[in-house]
Every structure is written in structure tokens, then in C-alpha cells.
Structure 1
């Protein structure tokens, strides 16, 4: 008989709430091993007895056959004396002081649960909260770790006999599925009609059928999901979409859509295989797709744009709303909030804040512990390119290339997401939004407290954006006084480049040519930067060239009036305000006179090197848009018009310490005054930017010897510029880093802040 021995295994990563213990139990049974498996706050522990060769096979199978939602970061196997175990069991979880582990994001319903949902013979037939260890809510219902039911918002729902037997059976796919429930014991759904004058809410399946009926009639409904409320209406009903815009105070910004399946998406949009797989992925992000011209989707969904954001259903409730009784095949599914406010996520908050927006509320009584918006992405070069990282991805960590101290990085003012670090993990938060009001700041503070608790982080230091007036800056300074921790101010564009470096796994001694192009970032000289070329590593950076400065008349107010930005640029360049230019015509004579005085006397005219503002000016001068209703609207519409077949380009002079734009703007104005079509003007402007970036990178390589280029900042969300710049740089033999895990915009900034701060604190 072969000698038996013992083995102790410790596993870290996303290994709780994903069916890992029953997986281990099944493996141990298959290999006829005795011992136990246990969840702890630090991961999963296993002790087994068996023959050495069998234990090796068991250990290999742990890695090779792990459950689909799990991610093993590290497996440590330590031989030990034979324990004399009899049988194999799953033992109670153990809380370990200060220990932590990654947590699974919320993921879409799995094929098994979806099949049961529509099986009339199944106990959970048409039950809106069906789930198992392979799917369902995770992050949004967890209050603390270890991930056990008492530490989730499912604690108020005692399991019935059927659910309890499944929960306790190691061979059942609902074994220790913490949100497990059924119609007899779990959460319930109901429909409240606004202005129903005391009429009782409709319950269960009747509520869902009435929801479908109201949506088919053009009504607007507030629907409670995984991470908050959506506002929904029929996406083919132009009147309903326009009414939602009016109520939500959202003039032009595109709405996200939900469609029931891939076949429906293909009816409305062009799809490649990567986009198809991204739509179907368990994260179920909103994916930006090119719409088909013949699609009946209302043009009011995304005015003056040729792309729309689409997601597939990801909860059982969504699938029930789209069942065979539905009279629609596409719904608007936009965040349940008034413009600029955080998403509503409690029933009371929704009734208070959304009652003037919705005709009815489809509610349920499973509490959401932390609000979480939908994620947004697009496909670039057959890979994901995140635009907003939230549900489905958060709080999945980014693995850093070195161990970092416990830090908090507060992110930026716009598109805020913060970052907590512990060991080699960077936990980037869900999308918080623009910190422009008290409600969003509250959401930020609640999120920080939750992450610090979940991941057992007491920050040694707080990193923040160097802008002195950001709310995140004030928050960091207040925490410094209260908690006596260090603070580290990080320059905005350095953080952008460091974010791209960190997610691409660059070690600390590597430098890159960083091309940081965005709308706004506080510069070391007190000006507004945004068209920056840096030689950078985590320890520091050198600003080697940038767009030439021009004044923003009215400061932030100019961002809402591209015509003012355009005239400020012309004034700086010494170019005439030709009366035939659309930007000149947008201002009455009195406005133009006041603007000229403001510029000449330098009254509230901060200087900017921002590429985003240059795009605003170019779009305005080309006649695309003189006033905007949301950030980057002029640039987005300018890009949408670009002619893919146009090869001409405007000339930007990047041979000096400042990038000269006069020649390019003169050419653009001449084309505009000569009635050259806007799509041609747009393409020539975009092509000029691409050529300028490539030329400067070549020059910097010759001077520095660096061959790696990192592209970061919100302007790189422009697909036209990104794809053509990548092609051109690679043709010139550069190694190019782009974002694949966090957004290039300010939503990914906190990762860079954390990376820089950890390096500075070494």
C-alpha cells in the first residue's frame, strides 16, 4: 500500500460566492480524499489526506477545473503529517482579523437558471430572483466578509425547506449560494402605479404583465435592478423617449438600451464577433454599436450620432419583462435619477426622487447595499475598451506588478471612481459620477467606507488630484486632519499615464512616452492642461511638449459654449472673427464686443492646452455645434460625422516646445468658408491629430531612446483617432499601451494616483 501523507492548501483570489467549496468537495470525492475545506476572510483553506501522487493530481485539478466565476491568484500547498481524517466535509467559515479577499462582481443569470425560469415544471418557474452559485447578485448585496448569508441583504429571508436542502447539499449547484431563494421564502416583486389613489400594488406575475402593458402603451417605468433603478420606456416610441428626456432633464445625451437577445441586436445594429461575445459575457456591459440605418429605434435615443449603447438582459426580472407577452423588442434602460444626481437604489429614495419621472414603479424587497451603475464599453482592435467600469466588473481587482501599502486614491471630480489598495491588489470602485453636488459626494463617502471595511484597509496615505478646488481634494485634507494620515497630491495627467502603465503591468523602473489628451486637468503652472506629451514613470515625469495655450473666456462656462472657445482660440492666434463663421454668428454683436474686452483685459480667461477644448473649437468653427448639453458633445458629434475615406489632413506643427495649431485652424476655416462638407473637414482635422501624435512620438524616441507609448485621457475614447494612431505608431515599430481594464477617461484616474503614491511612499 502506498504511503499516505497530509497536505494543507491556501488559495487566494475570487474564490468565495462562486461555488468554490462544492467544487473542492466534488474533486475530493472524485479523488477519494479525506479532509475539509473552509472559507476564511483571507481566502479558502483546504486540508486533505491521501497518496502523494493523488494529492498532486488534486492540486493540479484545483487550478485546471476551477468554477467559471472564480479566479485563483495564488495557490500555496504545504506538506504536513497525516491527520487521519474520515470522509470529506465543508466546515464553517472563519473570520480572521484584518484579513481580506477579492469579491465577485454581480453577474448575469446563468443558462441553467434561465432554463428553469421558463420551465413550467420547475419550482422557481417565473421567479424573478432565481440564482445559483454561478450567477446573480454579489457585490451589491454584500455587507461584510466572509461572504455568508448573514452578512448580505438576504439575511431577512429565512430559507424554506426546499432552499435549505439545496443550500446544504455539497453536490447541488445552489450549495452555499448566499442569495438562494424561491417563491415560498424569498424576495417579492410588485408594481406601484403613480397616482393610484390608494389602490393596492399589483403583486408577482400580475405586476410583470402590467409592466409590459404599460411599457407597450408608451409609459415610463422605474424598474429596480441589481445596483439601482432604471427608467425604462419603449425605445421605438419617439414620443415616449422625448417625454423621458423632458422629465429627466437630459436634453441630448444618449440613452442606453436593452434588447432581449443577440438576434434582436443584429436587427438594429451592426455586430462583429468580439462585440457579440462582449454583449453575451457574464458582465453584460452596455456596448457601443453602430446602428443600422433601417432600424426603427427612435432617433431621439442618440441625437446626431450613428452609434447606440446596447446591453442584453442580465437579471431574471429583465428576461420576464421581455418574454413572449412583450409588445416591444427594445427598451430604454437609463439610470434612475434626475440629471447629475446619483442613481436611486432604495425603494424610499426612488419614490421620493423618481415620482415625477415615472408613471409606475416595479419594486422588490431585496435591499441593495451599495448602488452600482451599468458598465459601458466598446470594442477596439478585437478587445474590450472600457468607458465606464462598474456593474459586472467592480470590485474585481487590478493586479499590480509590485506590493503596495494600504492606500486610498480619491480619483477625479468628473466620472469619479476611487481606488483602495492592499498588498498587490488595486480595488477600483464602481462608477460614482460627477462630484458636483452633496448627494454624489455622500455616495462617494459611503462607497469609500464600504470598501475600507470590505477589504480591511486603514489607509496609510490618501492620494488625490492636485486641483485645489476639487471636492475629492477637500475630502482628502479633512481625512488627513481627522485620521492623521499622509496625503499625496498627484498631477492629473501623470496619473492618467500611470494608470495605463499599471494596468499593463509595467514595473517601476520602466519609462514611457505618455500621450495624455483630455478636457481638463490642473497643471503644475496653474493652467488647465490637456494636450500633454510626457516622459514618465511612477516616480515622476517631464512635460516635453504640449498644445499651445489659448484662453477660455469664462473658464468652465466656456465648456458649455464651444463658440466662445472657438473665438478665444482665434483671438489668441490673431485670426479674424469672420462674420460668415458659424461661431461668430452664434454671438450677437454685444456678446462679441464683451467677449473681446474680456479677452483683451484677461478677465476670467484661464489658459488651457486642452485637446478636448481644441476639439470643441474645431467642431464649432466647422459648424457642428456652438452650444453643448453634456460633456464632449461637440467632439462626439464631430467624430460621428468624419468621412472614413478622406485621406487629407490639416498640419499641426509639433517641432517646438509647444504644438502650433495656427496652420491647421486656418485650413479648417478656409474649408468651412468654401463650403467643403463637414465630414471632410472632420476627417482632415482628425487625421492631422493622428499625424501630429505620431511625428512627436518619433521625435521623442530619437531624443530619449524610449520606444513604449502609453495613450490615456478621455480624448482617446475617440475611436477614429485611437484606431488610426495605434496603426500608425505600430507601423513605426512602437510598443503601444492602451486601456483594457479601466477607462482612459477620469474613471480610471484613481488607479494611476494609487500607483504613483505607492512609489512616492517607498
Structure 2
């Protein structure tokens, strides 16, 4: 008995080998029909024996390619038509529909075997790829995903590649970036002495430059890296000086896990992350005597390690260049360079050599960063390998554009029941960064062929993103809403867990957020209702004066003096934070604290960590965000035991005064600063758990959420989550978007959706 079915498959089903998979499955079951792409799905019609058709429908989602993400499959009965073959047909355009785009995928094992096989025609080809790996998001210029709408369109396939592309049994069947030595792309090297061409000559010259301690600007998958020998202290120092990045850690690329293990301790979960197709940077504990120069990550006990994810990386990391710093190709504070001309212009004073290629990058994309805490992934930066995978919303939504925060910026665009968070864009403090933000917004809205019906920004009137949103609204007539910073953090957490509508007590700890009372918040406990919009501040960190605003953020010693002033601790002359300031600066801070001139009040948990870091003598001045807190956490990890440090609760307020007095007593009594640092973490976790449990119980809430950048501190995150779970609470923390401001745009978007039910739902 013959049957025919039409299947419409939505999700990440283009650019992941889905159509070849469908064709192979149909051939295996002796079915006829066809499949193809349209703007929102893969469409399939299969015909054959009834049992074989049913088997096809059952196996399709269960056996899909590993990179596919299926969000829905619709199945309809059709009358048999007597097809005699199964074929892949041309893509179709459908009004209003857009499919999902796959992230970029690391080079697969099959391609690596070919890359290293002298008998293979792609031996040592720097751009080898197949349907299971290679560029996707960074080369796509439009949808549906076909070669003419990628940056590979300018490289005509040679006869051999074209034959593989059309052969259903080939691993490169309909692999859009397919290429080889004959059809390109090509690499070359630019030096002061001229240009070097030819793959082997280019790679050899680049390796010689790295071995000589030179800095190489290397065009990669989503932008340029600045590379140097990670074992050469002088080369790393030179890169720091030229990049104007005095202390912020650099990432290191190693050829394999064995090389990583020579530098760091690697658990099974961390190895799984390192080797995943996403190939993120993974934060790992250093060995005490590894080969990597101390200058790569000064002052901390971790290294950000990653494995090669392009064939060019694999070729470059062959001996002798086996451990390379790989940091973003930009000056600190500027956007990533991703075109050849831009790199030549902006990196000329940093790089000695340029390793170029002629495949354009359509969308710039930074490396992603993750860590592991108690076997669980902790996203730090969500970008390459993850963007632009969407967060699935509970129901179809209007088209909302949310513009994110000032630091670690991402933006978010909603369409149908998807929320698309952009790749990491960085800090919005420069005109170049703001222009990059605007280009990225235009790219994403154009790719999805949507016009925002609402734009959402942070309440903070000084954010560049808020000002951009206002200009956009004024120019287009699209209405604009603003939302409170910590409310958006909690909403982001609910959205990524698919729990919008759940009553939750959100613990939102971060550095800076514009408060409803126009002070600087950052240590907040918010009760959020089932409509998401009802949020009340039910607890917070004890407030204190922040002298000089941003000047205090850059100088944790000033924050320490402010905390001591708030706690009425006056005998401070011998403390490390006091000794770090000269007399004029001490006098200035004392005057500000006494008069309140040039001060704002804050409940910032991030600033509390900064102040304690200085109080313990860890870090008094910072050159990058959260440096003092990161180094304090590293010190705490080195402790054998935690010292007893008290912290109090007063009228639903976390009171740091007892902790300050306990730390000072410990310092004066000769207690190990590492034990005091760990004791502070534990005291804060216990006090927060006590307050959160009391507030949740009184409100009848069983779910507590942990969000905000402070929860990138894995000691605090693990201790607080464990304590709350032991008390019987459901605890939500971040798994998809970062807890820091990189996840804020998702929360802004869902708050905008909740506040605007009258806006029509996108098609």
C-alpha cells in the first residue's frame, strides 16, 4: 500500500547537511519524492510503502545531523503521485518566512584526516570543509542558505568540487562553502619586505615570524586575531604594550588537549567543552610550572584555553608554533577588525606581519568564553559557535529590538517565537563601537526581513545604547520603552529557562545598574510576579558612598576607604588599601566622603568585591573591568581553609560591616589573606541564602534565580546554589546567555513583549 507525506521542518536545518541527510534516509527506505529549502523551513515530500513512510517520519527528528536543531515538524497526508526518484530541488522563496542560521562549526574529524593526507586533493588546504563543519553564520549574506548568498559566491566551483556538491552520497553534497586548492580561497602574507604567496611558503613564513617573537595579525573565521608565541614573555609584553592592554588575560590556542594539559588541569567536563564543535575558550586552572609566560594572564590562577577550529589554525599550530596567544584583533575598547583594509589601517601599529585571505567575512564574530562549575557550564561570553542560535519563546511575539547594555554589549531581535541574541559586540564607549553596533543591527534585521515594532533600552539615560534607541525611535516613529537594569537580568534568566510566568525571587548582583531611585544599584533581591512586569525590590546590599563615580571604579582602594567610612571604622592607617594611596589622594577621598561632594550612593555588589580586594592587599588599581574581583576569587581558590568572616542581616539588608571588621581583625592577627578571601565568599553566600530564603518563604515563592555579572564568580555561585538547593528551593542560573550584561538584551526584549500586548504578532 502506497502513501505520501509532506513534512515541513523548522529550526536550524540549513547549512547543517539536512537536505543530504533527508535524501540518504529516503534512499535507505526506498522512498521517492523531493526536498528543498525555503525561507523558513526545509520542505519534504516522500512517497512509498506505507510502513516505510511512517518509518521515515519517525526517524527524521531522531536521526537528524548533529548540528541540526529542530524546533517543529508539521506532517500532512497527500495523495500518491507516482514519483520514481528522490531529488533535492531548488530553493523557494516564501512571503514573510525566514529560516534559522547555523553557527560556525569547527573543522570535523573527517576533514582533518583529509587535511593531513598527502594522497587527498585537499591536503593542507586552509579552507577545507564539508556539510558537517566550517563557516556558516560569518559567511551568510542572505537566506535561504545557498552559495550565491554567501561570501563564497565569488569563488566558482571547479569541476571536481561541483561533482562532489551534486553527488548525493558525498559528504560535501550541497555543502555551500565547498572549495579546494584549485577554486580558492587563498592565503598570503604581508610584511614590510613585501608579499608572500603559496600556502606552504605563507605558513612557513608565518611560523618563522611567530618563532622570532613577532606579532601576527591573522584573519580568521569571524575576524582578525593578534597572535604571538605564548611561551615568549617579551613577545607577550610587546603585544600588551601595542594593544594598550596592560593586564587583562589573553586567550591561548593549543594544538590538542595533550598540549592544554601541559599548561592546565582539565576535567572530563572541561575536555568535552574544549573539543565540542563550538570550540569555545574554556577557563582552566593553571599548572604551577607550565610553559606559558606569566605575562599571558598575570595575577590570576586560570588560563583561557582553546583548540584550533579552522584548518588554517591547525596548519599554523604545527611545530614549532604550538602554543599561541590568540586575542581579538583590535585596540582595547574598539570593535573587532574583520576586513583586510580595516585591519591594515587599525592594526598597523600592533602587528609586524599580516596573514590574510580573500574570503570575506559577512558578520564579525568574537570567540565564545565558557567555564565549568561543579560540572555545569557557565557562559561568560556567547558568540562564535552559539550565535545566532535563538532562545525559544513561550509563544509568538511581536518584532522587538532590544539594544542591551553599555558594557559586554549584545542586542536582541525577536521574530515569531524566537529571540535572536547577537554575537558579542563589546563595550560601547567609542564611536567605532557604536558604528559596529549599528551595522550589526542592520545586518540582523535585513537578514530576517523584519522591521522592529518596538525598541527597548536600559533606564540609564547616559548609556550610548539608550541614546541610540532614542534616535532610532525619533527617526522611524517606532515606539521606545526603557526597563530597569536588574529587572532585565531576572527576565533574561526566566526567558532562557522558558519560565516566563513563574513567580521568582531574583538575586541580581553586579557592578552597576541604574536604580529606580536614581542611585547606582547592584546588590538587589527582586520579587518578580507571573506577568513579568510586576517587580518589587525586597532586599539589597547596604548602601555606601562611591567617591568620584568612575574614578572609584578604576581605583578599588577608594572603594575600600568608602566602605570603611560607611562602617565608621577609623583606625585604618596600617591597612593595605590606605598605604596604596598617597596623602593628596587620601585627603581628596576623605573630603568627598565627609561632604558627599562628587559621590553617589550605591548598593553595588561588584564594588563590594573591589573594596574587599583592596582591603586584603590584592588589587588597588584596575586596568580592566572586574580585575580586582577576579584576582580576589583567584586568591580565595588558593586557600586551604576558609577563615571565619561574619556578615549580618538587618531589615532585609545585607550588612557588610561585620565582614570588614572581621577581615581587619584577621589581617592584624596574621591570618592568611587567602583564608580571609575564601571566608568572605562563604560569608556572603550564607548571608544571601539566609535573606533569600526568608524573603521567598514569606512571599510563598519556591524558585530563586541567580543573575548578574557577580555570578560569574564560581565560588559564590556554587556555594549559594548548593545552600539554597539544600533548603529545598529550585535554583535557576544561566546556561545559555551570560549572567553578565551580555545576557541583558534578552531580558529587555521579553519585558518589552510583556509590556506591549497590543502590538501585532510577526508572521
TM-score tier after normalising by the smaller chain length: over 0.9
Greater CA drift, 427-436 or 718-727: 718-727
Question: 1:96 matched to which residue of 2?
Answer: 94
Deviation at 1:644? 4.4
Deviation at 1:673? 2.9
3-state SS in 2 of match to 1:606: strand
3-state SS in 1 of match to 2:138: helix
1:615 and 2:609 correspond: yes
3-state SS in 1 of match to 2:649: coil
Match of 1:522 among 514, 533, 542: 514
Closer/same/farther in 2, CA of residues 381 and 457 from structure 1, 3 Å limit: farther
Structure 2: tracts of 5 or more residues without a match: 758-763
3-state SS in 1 of match to 2:320: coil
1:320 and 2:318 correspond: no
Tell whether the 8 Å contact from 2:189 to 2:195 is kept in structure 1 after alignment. no
Instruction: Measure, in 1, the Cα distance between the counterparts of 2:31 and 2:206.
Output: 52
Deviation at 1:722? 0.9
Deviation at 1:51? 2.8
Question: 2:623 matched to which residue of 1?
Answer: 629
Greater CA drift, 286-295 or 82-91: 82-91
3-state SS in 2 of match to 1:524: coil
1:619-673 Cα shifts (integer Å, max 9, x gaps) = 1111111111111111111110115442433222224143222111111122223
Deviation at 1:16? 0.5
Instruction: Measure, in 2, the Cα distance between the counterparts of 1:584 and 1:23.
Output: 67
Match of 1:42 among 40, 43, 46: 40
Question: 1:222 matched to which residue of 2?
Answer: 217
Question: 2:653 matched to which residue of 1?
Answer: 658
3-state SS in 2 of match to 1:552: strand
Instruction: Measure, in 1, the Cα distance between the counterparts of 2:406 and 2:696.
Output: 33
Match of 1:572 among 553, 563, 566: 566
Spell out the pairing of 1:346-385 with structure 2 (5 A cutoff): 346-385=339-378
Tell whether the 8 Å contact from 1:250 to 1:339 is kept in structure 2 after alignment. yes
Question: 1:586 matched to which residue of 2?
Answer: 580
Question: 2:6 matched to which residue of 1?
Answer: 8
Question: 2:137 matched to which residue of 1?
Answer: 139
Spell out the pairing of 1:727-742 with structure 2 (5 A cutoff): 727-742=722-737
Instruction: Measure, in 1, the Cα distance between the counterparts of 2:225 and 2:494.
Output: 35
Instruction: Measure, in 1, the Cα distance between the counterparts of 2:444 and 2:200.
Output: 36
Question: 2:761 matched to which residue of 1?
Answer: none
Question: 1:57 matched to which residue of 2?
Answer: 55
3-state SS in 1 of match to 2:195: coil
Match of 1:24 among 22, 27, 40: 22
Spell out the pairing of 1:343-742 with structure 2 (5 A cutoff): 343-508=336-501, 510-537=502-529, 538-576=532-570, 578-642=572-636, 643-742=638-737
Closer/same/farther in 2, CA of residues 276 and 128 from structure 1, 3 Å limit: same
TM-score by length of 1: 0.97
3-state SS in 2 of match to 1:13: strand
Tell whether the 8 Å contact from 2:188 to 2:195 is kept in structure 1 after alignment. no
Deviation at 1:5? 2.8
1:525-581 Cα shifts (integer Å, max 9, x gaps) = 000000001111422211001111111111112100111111122222222152111
Deviation at 1:53? 2.2
Deviation at 1:58? 0.8
Instruction: Measure, in 2, the Cα distance between the counterparts of 1:55 and 1:87.
Output: 14
Spell out the pairing of 1:149-164 with structure 2 (5 A cutoff): 149-164=147-162
Instruction: Measure, in 1, the Cα distance between the counterparts of 2:535 and 2:674.
Output: 37
Instruction: Measure, in 1, the Cα distance between the counterparts of 2:655 and 2:69.
Output: 49
Match of 1:118 among 116, 119, 130: 116
Tell whether the 8 Å contact from 2:557 to 2:580 is kept in structure 1 after alignment. yes
Spell out the pairing of 1:80-91 with structure 2 (5 A cutoff): 80-91=78-89
Question: 2:260 matched to which residue of 1?
Answer: 265
Tell whether the 8 Å contact from 1:37 to 1:91 is kept in structure 2 after alignment. yes
Instruction: Measure, in 1, the Cα distance between the counterparts of 2:63 and 2:639.
Output: 46
Tell whether the 8 Å contact from 1:621 to 1:672 is kept in structure 2 after alignment. no
Instruction: Measure, in 2, the Cα distance between the counterparts of 1:649 and 1:338.
Output: 43
Tell whether the 8 Å contact from 1:397 to 1:428 is kept in structure 2 after alignment. yes
Tell whether the 8 Å contact from 1:655 to 1:696 is kept in structure 2 after alignment. no
Question: 1:209 matched to which residue of 2?
Answer: 204
Instruction: Measure, in 2, the Cα distance between the counterparts of 1:441 and 1:229.
Output: 19
Tell whether the 8 Å contact from 1:649 to 1:683 is kept in structure 2 after alignment. no
Deviation at 1:481? 1.4
Greater CA drift, 374-383 or 312-321: 374-383
3-state SS in 1 of match to 2:648: coil
Q: Would you say how many aligned residue pairs link Structure 1 and Structure 2?
A: 754
Deviation at 1:7? 1.3
Instruction: Measure, in 2, the Cα distance between the counterparts of 1:542 and 1:83.
Output: 62
Tell whether the 8 Å contact from 2:652 to 2:691 is kept in structure 1 after alignment. no
Tell whether the 8 Å contact from 1:570 to 1:577 is kept in structure 2 after alignment. no
Instruction: Measure, in 2, the Cα distance between the counterparts of 1:583 and 1:382.
Output: 36
Question: 1:254 matched to which residue of 2?
Answer: 249
3-state SS in 2 of match to 1:724: helix
3-state SS in 2 of match to 1:514: strand
Structure 1: tracts of 5 or more residues without a match: none
1:297 and 2:292 correspond: yes
Instruction: Measure, in 2, the Cα distance between the counterparts of 1:126 and 1:259.
Output: 19
Report the aligned-residue RMSD.
Answer: 1.2
Instruction: Measure, in 1, the Cα distance between the counterparts of 2:596 and 2:650.
Output: 28
Instruction: Measure, in 2, the Cα distance between the counterparts of 1:523 and 1:204.
Output: 56
3-state SS in 1 of match to 2:148: helix
Tell whether the 8 Å contact from 1:376 to 1:388 is kept in structure 2 after alignment. yes
Deviation at 1:241? 0.8
TM-score by length of 2: 0.97
Instruction: Measure, in 2, the Cα distance between the counterparts of 1:644 and 1:718.
Output: 16
Instruction: Measure, in 2, the Cα distance between the counterparts of 1:634 and 1:459.
Output: 40
Instruction: Measure, in 2, the Cα distance between the counterparts of 1:645 and 1:733.
Output: 29
Instruction: Measure, in 2, the Cα distance between the counterparts of 1:616 and 1:507.
Output: 33
Tell whether the 8 Å contact from 1:465 to 1:473 is kept in structure 2 after alignment. yes
Tell whether the 8 Å contact from 1:133 to 1:177 is kept in structure 2 after alignment. yes
Question: 2:165 matched to which residue of 1?
Answer: 167
Question: 2:77 matched to which residue of 1?
Answer: 79
Instruction: Measure, in 2, the Cα distance between the counterparts of 1:661 and 1:26.
Output: 64
